[in-house]
Amino acid sequence: MSDATDILPGPIRQIAYVVRDLDATMQSWCKVGVGPWFTMRNLEQKNCRYRGRHCEPTISIGFANSGPLQVELIQQHDGGASIYREFLDAGREGFHQLAWWTEDFDGLMKEAEAAYWPVVFSGDGNGVANFAYFELDTTISTVVEVMELNDSTRALAETVAKGAEQWDGVTDPVRSLI
């Protein structure tokens, strides 16, 4: 397996947690000064692949920033197979993945394939942005995610970062994106 620094583009951009209760977890993060949270609820993730098989998990997600680092919270609502359900069914909850963002998603995927990185979960974000999760080194992270950085994902990242910069720690701690 190649050294990940030869493939992963730049710094870690996001840390993500798989949770059972999105609202309670966002409230806990707000108590330590991380917010506001920008949410997308009950998203039916179409066109996903989990360990080689088609899947369509329904999830809610929240995004906030702590400095330049984005924090993502993911709650799966259904019992269908996915990387999130696998984590929860193993009795786990909490830290799940580190994420990098790339403008050249296809190029990175070719490099990852050449390095024999196993893709365990992937999708196209319902046509918004491609993503892939790899199992690399579980002493660092359960999985490593690579997300396509395009106009839509860049706008989302900018909205979340600006919200954190301007947040007073009290007003509108949870905001809906859709």
CATH number of the domain bearing residue 111:
3.10.180.10
Alpha carbons 26 and 40: distance in angstroms, whole number: 13
Alpha carbons 15 and 42: distance in angstroms, whole number: 21
Q: Is residue 1 part of a domain?
A: no
Instruction: Report strand pairing: 58-66 vs 53-55.
Output: unpaired
| 16-58 pLDDT, tens digit each | 999 999 999 999 999 999 999 999 999 999 999 999 999 999 9
Answer whether the bond into residue 68 is a cis peptide, omega within 30°: no
Q: Is residue 35 part of a domain?
A: yes
* Count of Cβ atoms closer than 10 Å to residue 178 Cβ: 8
Q: Is residue 25 part of a domain?
A: yes
| 149-159 pLDDT, tens digit each | 999 999 999 99
Q: Residue 80's domain spans which residues?
A: 8-164
With contact defined as beta carbons under 8 Å apart, do 176 and 41 qualify?
Answer: yes
Q: Is residue 2 part of a domain?
A: no
With contact defined as beta carbons under 8 Å apart, do 70 and 63 qualify?
Answer: yes
Q: Is residue 118 part of a domain?
A: yes
Looking at the structure of the chain, the number of domains it has is 1
Q: Is residue 77 part of a domain?
A: yes
| Reported confidence tier of residue 2, pLDDT bands at 50, 70, 90 | low
Q: Is residue 110 part of a domain?
A: yes
Give residue 144's pLDDT.
95
Alpha carbons 146 and 102: distance in angstroms, whole number: 7
Q: Is residue 59 part of a domain?
A: yes
